[in-house]
Structure 1
Amino acid sequence: MNEYRILPEPPRPRSGVSGGRPSNTRIFCCNYAVGLDPMSNDFKLVMIQTLNDERGVSSINDCLPNVAVYNFSTNSWRHVEEGLFPVGRYLRGKAMNNVYHNGFCHWVAPTETPCDCVAILSFSMSEEVLQEMRGPRVPPITEGIWFKYWTIGIQDDCLSVLHVEESRRSFGLWMMKGGFWTKHLSFELFIERYQPVGFWRNGEFILESYPLGGDRRLVLYDSNYNQIREFGITGVRFSVRFLKESLVTV
């Protein structure tokens, strides 16, 4: 329908004590997600801001996390404070991968140090509360920015995460079923090193090649036929977002 909406300016970060943004801080990055509140049948956009102090160190532990929600029906923002916890060790990357599923928005959340269990932050669109969920338990990754080795999505209508091992050639798909993470499939790519970018259709995943030299490439891997399809797109860095047309008109 070629429609778009200009949102009003979001509220400024504020401290739980003074009501204003902590002194000597700046906004390091913002993370957004869109979803439906199944109780009010209203679409919402949730924004989480990470603050850094003048040294470039996360300072959000000193105040409430700056979480704000935009309501599509009222065209207005408001701060979310009740039931939140400090999230300074999470969401420190820009444009973190997220997915909406059954009334919750989920992010793969990097922690201060690599561990054997990925953290997932979930935001209830109805109760407007952040929660932490433990992801699948896998061997820890120690090289570079480890959260880039995960991506979150929906597979067979289940919350799922795609994980690449430290070699960047072997992958595992984990699905949340019955309250437990189950490894659904594994696959290995022998020629190049890759990192996950996003979920496509069932059994298909968008990956980014990670060559030792030269431009990176965006490819589609079909696990059903063990085939890689080239998009013909090269560049330095990729970010992929998917539009679910039945969710909201953009």
Structure 2
Amino acid sequence: MKGWSRSRSELPEDLIMEILLQLPVKSLIRFNCVCKSWCCCFQTSNFIYKHHHINLENNRLNLLCTRAVGRPGPGKVILNYTQLSTEQDDFLSPKLDNQFTFFKDDGYPPDVLGPRNGLLFFYSYGQGKKSAIWNPSTREFKTLPPSSIQAPSPGYNSIDSAGFGFDSNTGDYKVIQFVDRVSLNFPSPDDEYTPPGYDFTVELYSLKTDSWKEIPFSGVFTDSYHNLCDTYVNGTCHWHAGKDPPPEHNPRILSFDMADEKFSTFPFPEFGGDLDYYWFQLLEFHGSLGIFIYPFQAPEKSFDLWVMNGEYTWTKQLCIDPIPRVENPLGFWKNGDLFLETPDHQLVLFEHRTGEVKRPGIKTSLCSMRVFAYAESLVRINGTSEHKGYVIRQPCIR
């Protein structure tokens, strides 16, 4: 076959790039040392975008389940994450089980948001109130700078809600957080005692500038923004925001556009039930905002999924018949299958077509778990490599 052999340098450059785009992140990181041109190419926004988009198109997804284990108290709570196998013949069997000791000295399990182009965001509720962005594919980890909001007294600021998103106009990753500043109102000699109140402030973090800034916000709801986890769809974060002021008391959804940095609100779907007897769960459904509505006291819960289309109009997309011994929906997987959580905090997968419920034996001891399906990404966050202060990559006790 003499004459047919060709060296690497003789292969068309376009063909080489197409081959490299199909490779996993671990291989691309190793190939950084092959030649300088490859190393530079892997860092360009065009290559990073194409690589991630190809992974999404081909459903090359990794599945992470996060859960808190241990007992409340300083240094006793860790966030454990389990990578689940997505192979057809071994689905939902644990593939890799690791301990994630995110800011363990706070004594509280962190919340997790994402993924956003393969990135996850962590933030804690303890006295330190630290936060970080993590790329689990490249193992790059970036701790965010402290909040710019000054507390009236040390330790009084608390993160009530947060959101993590991508500004496609500038190519910037942003974090928004709602900060409660406890204000102690001391009475004057002529006034009666005034109980402590809350000074509500919103700030936005930019990864490009690595800094926070306060942004205008006018709260109009009587209830707190009690859904701490955002639902991110097409560049916009959404939260279950509470209710309109009296006399309407209608539940509302708060949204924040990461590009124009503006808030908006719109109503829940009119599902015909009594709001006092139902839970609501926002989620992303095939690129649109969806909301599960389900009774919170029924022994076997049924789930109605409403999806937003057009100008804040809702359509009932599907109704899932009552499923025994489940509590909360966690999100969709492939083929319409649904991840759910049981009352004792175990993970289950409901196969929509067969009605079968699979239980991989994963549970949490402290609070609700989260499930994240993400595609590998080369996105750089200007952070540092993982170290033992944050991630312990070793099997942990279930």
Query: Larger Cα Rg: Structure 1 or Structure 2?
Result: 2
Report the secondary structure of 1:216's partner residue: coil
**How many angstroms apart in 2 are the aligned matches of 1:130 and 1:58?**
27
Change (3 A) 1:66 1:245: farther
CA positional deviation for 1:38: 2.2
Change (3 A) 1:30 1:171: same
Quote the residue 2:338 is aligned against. Answer: 205
The answer to whether the Cα contact below 8 Å between 1:150 and 1:196 also exists between their aligned partners in 2 is no
Equivalent of residue 223 in structure 1, options 352, 365, 387: 352
- The equivalences for 1:61-100 within 5 A come to 63=199, 65-81=200-216, 84-86=217-219, 89-93=222-226, 96-100=228-232
Equivalent of residue 233 in structure 2, options 101, 105, 125: 101
CA positional deviation for 1:89: 3.3
Quote the residue 1:17 is aligned against. Answer: none
CA positional deviation for 1:26: 3.5
Matched, 1:121 2:251: no
Which structure 1 segments of 5+ residues have no match?
Answer: 14-20
**How many angstroms apart in 2 are the aligned matches of 1:49 and 1:11?**
11
CA positional deviation for 1:173: 0.7
Report the secondary structure of 2:269's partner residue: strand
Matched, 1:132 2:261: no
Quote the residue 2:134 is aligned against. Answer: none
Report the secondary structure of 2:140's partner residue: coil
Report the residue type matching 2:230 in the other structure.
N
Q: Deviations over 1:128-151 (max 9, x none)?
A: 1221121212323435xx6xx222
TM-score (norm 1): 0.75
TM-score (norm 2): 0.50
**How many angstroms apart in 2 are the aligned matches of 1:86 and 1:24?**
25
The answer to whether the Cα contact below 8 Å between 1:106 and 1:121 also exists between their aligned partners in 2 is yes
Q: Deviations over 1:27-67 (max 9, x none)?
A: 34432221111222211111112355669x8944xx5x411
The answer to whether the Cα contact below 8 Å between 2:184 and 2:196 also exists between their aligned partners in 1 is no
- The equivalences for 1:117-196 within 5 A come to 118-138=251-271, 139-142=273-276, 149-166=279-296, 167=298, 169-179=301-311, 180-196=313-329
Change (3 A) 1:24 1:154: same
Mean Cα deviation higher: 193-202 or 166-175: 193-202
The answer to whether the Cα contact below 8 Å between 2:152 and 2:182 also exists between their aligned partners in 1 is no
Query: Percent identity among equivalent residues?
Result: 25
Quote the residue 1:16 is aligned against. Answer: none
**How many angstroms apart in 1 are the aligned matches of 2:349 and 2:295?**
18
Report the secondary structure of 1:136's partner residue: coil
**How many angstroms apart in 1 are the aligned matches of 2:367 and 2:333?**
19
Which structure 2 segments of 5+ residues have no match?
Answer: 1-137, 186-194, 382-398
Matched, 1:32 2:166: no
Hey, which of these two has a bigger chunk of strand by percent?
1
Quote the residue 1:18 is aligned against. Answer: none
Structure of greater relative contact order (alpha carbons < 8 Å, 6+ residues apart) = 2
Report the residue type matching 1:43 in the other structure.
Y
